[in-house]
C-alpha cells in the first residue's frame, strides 16, 4: 500500500482513525438524506454495496491480494455471512433510520455493538469482564435512555418503536456476523472477505432492487442530487473508511482503536445539527456524551485484556498493510 513508516507518525495514525469515524458518522446523515428524498431503500443500498464490492475487487487485484474461495465449505460460509451482512444488516439499519427519523439515535444504537459483543464473549467464550466494563454498559444504557426520553417528550413518529427494534436487530446480526467471520479470518484477508460480502450481498439484493427498488423509477433517481450521497456511502463509508480503519487497528492496536468507535454517535449528532437534519436539546446532547463515555469504559481493559469479539477480529487487518 505504500504507507511506509507511518507508524512513526502518531499524527498520521490518529488522522486515519479520526477520518474513518468522521465518515461513518456521516453515513447516517447521507442515508437519512436519501430517505428524505423518498428514494427506495432497496435502490440506494443495492447500488452502494455493489459499487463498494467492485472497488474492493479492483483494490485486491491491483495489489495482488485477491484470493479465490478455496472450498465448498468456505463458499457456503461466505454465502451465510453475506446474508447477515450486508443483506439483513443494511435492511434493518436503514429501515431503522427511516422509522426512527433520527440519525443520531440510530448511530447510538449501532454503537452498542461492542457491548453486545462483550456479552457474547463473556457468556460464550468465557472472556474476562471487569466491574468497569459492567459499569460502562450501564452508563451507556443510561445515556441512551436520556436521549430516548427527551425524544419521546418532543414527539416521535408512529413507527418509532419498530425502528428501534430494527436497529437492535442490526446490532444482533452484526454480532452474529462477526462470529461467523471468525472461522474465515484465519484463511482469508479481511478486505477479501468484505469484498465477497459486498459482491454476494449485491446479488441477494437484485430481486428486491428490480421489484421494490425501481418500481416507481423516475429520472430523479439518476440525478446527481441522488447519486452523490450514494457514491459517498459506497466510496467513502464502505471502501475508504474500511481501509483507514484497518490501518488504525494495525498501528494503534485493538484496545486504543475501539475507543474511537464511541465517537461515531457524537459525529452524527454534530453533523445532523449543523446540516439542519436534526435538532437536539441539552438533555439529548448530555445523553449522547454519556453514552459515548460508557462505551469507552465498557471496552476498558485495565489489567485484564478484554477484547470484544467484533473488535478482536479486526486485528486480522494487519496483513493488509504488510
Q: Are 249 and 318 in contact (CB under 8 A)?
A: yes
Which residue bears the cell 472477505?
193
Residue 38's pLDDT is what?
A: 95
**Grid cell digits, residue 193:** 472477505
The whole-number average pLDDT for the span 78-89 is 94
How far apart, in whole angstroms, are the C-alpha atoms of residue 293 and residue 130?
A: 16
**CA dihedral sign of residues 110, 197, 199, 76:** negative
How far apart, in whole angstroms, are the C-alpha atoms of residue 59 and residue 37?
A: 32
Q: Is the peptide bond before 86 cis (omega within 30 degrees of 0)?
A: yes
Question: What is the DSSP-derived secondary structure letter of residue 86?
Answer: I
Residue 69 CB partners (closer than 8 Å, separation 6+): 75, 78, 196
**pLDDT > 90: percent of the chain:** 40
Residue 3: pLDDT band (50, 70, 90) is: very low
Q: Are 178 and 310 in contact (CB under 8 A)?
A: yes
**The pLDDT of residue 320 is above 50:** no
**pLDDT > 70: percent of the chain:** 82
Residue 314: pLDDT band (50, 70, 90) is: very low
Note if the pTM is more than 0.75.
yes
Which has the higher per-residue pLDDT, 14 or 317? Answer: 14
Q: Are 190 and 246 in contact (CB under 8 A)?
A: yes
How far apart, in whole angstroms, are the C-alpha atoms of residue 57 and residue 292?
A: 34
**The pLDDT of residue 269 is above 70:** yes
Residue 125: pLDDT band (50, 70, 90) is: low
Q: Where are the domains of the chain?
A: 6-321
Question: Across the chain, what does the average pLDDT equal?
Answer: 82
Residue 315's pLDDT is what?
A: 38
Neighbour count for residue 139 (Cβ, 10 Å): 19
Amino acid at each position: 500500500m505504500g504507507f511506509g513508516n507511518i507508524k512513526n507518525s502518531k499524527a498520521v495514525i490518529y488522522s486515519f482513525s479520526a477520518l474513518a469515524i468522521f465518515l461513518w458518522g456521516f453515513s447516517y446523515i447521507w442515508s437519512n438524506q436519501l430517505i428524505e428524498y423518498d428514494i427506495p431503500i432497496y435502490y440506494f443500498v443495492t447500488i452502494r454495496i455493489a459499487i463498494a464490492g467492485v472497488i474492493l475487487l479492483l483494490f485486491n487485484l491491483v495489489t495482488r491480494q485477491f484470493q479465490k474461495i478455496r472450498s465448498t465449505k468456505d463458499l457456503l460460509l461466505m454465502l451465510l455471512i453475506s446474508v447477515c451482512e450486508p443483506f439483513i444488516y443494511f435492511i434493518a439499519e436503514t429501515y431503522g433510520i427511516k422509522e426512527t427519523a433520527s440519525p443520531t439515535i440510530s448511530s447510538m444504537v449501532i454503537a452498542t455493538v461492542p457491548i453486545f459483543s462483550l456479552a457474547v464473549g463473556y457468556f460464550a467464550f468465557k472472556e474476562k469482564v471487569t466491574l468497569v466494563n459492567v459499569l460502562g454498559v450501564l452508563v451507556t444504557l443510561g445515556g441512551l435512555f436520556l436521549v430516548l426520553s427527551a425524544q419521546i417528550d418532543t414527539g416521535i413518529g408512529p413507527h418509532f418503536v419498530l425502528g428501534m427494534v430494527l436497529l437492535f436487530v442490526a446490532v444482533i446480526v452484526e454480532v452474529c456476523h462477526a462470529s461467523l467471520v471468525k472461522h474465515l479470518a484465519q484463511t482469508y484477508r479481511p478486505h477479501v472477505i468484505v469484498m465477497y460480502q459486498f459482491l454476494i450481498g449485491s446479488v441477494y439484493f437484485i430481486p428486491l432492487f428490480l421489484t421494490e427498488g425501481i418500481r416507481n423509477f423516475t429520472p430523479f433517481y439518476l440525478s446527481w442530487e441522488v447519486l452523490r450521497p450514494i457514491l459517498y456511502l459506497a466510496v467513502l463509508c464502505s471502501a475508504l473508511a474500511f481501509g483507514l480503519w484497518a490501518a488504525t487497528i494495525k498501528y494503534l492496536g485493538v484496545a486504543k482503536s475501539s475507543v474511537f468507535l464511541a465517537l461515531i454517535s457524537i459525529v452524527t449528532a454534530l453533523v445532523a445539527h449543523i446540516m439542519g437534519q436534526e435538532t437536539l436539546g441539552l438533555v439529548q446532547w448530555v445523553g449522547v456524551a454519556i453514552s459515548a463515555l460508557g462505551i469507552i469504559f465498557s471496552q476498558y481493559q485495565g489489567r485484564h485484556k478484554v477484547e470484544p469479539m467484533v473488535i478482536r477480529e479486526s486485528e486480522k487487518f494487519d496483513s493488509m498493510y504488510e
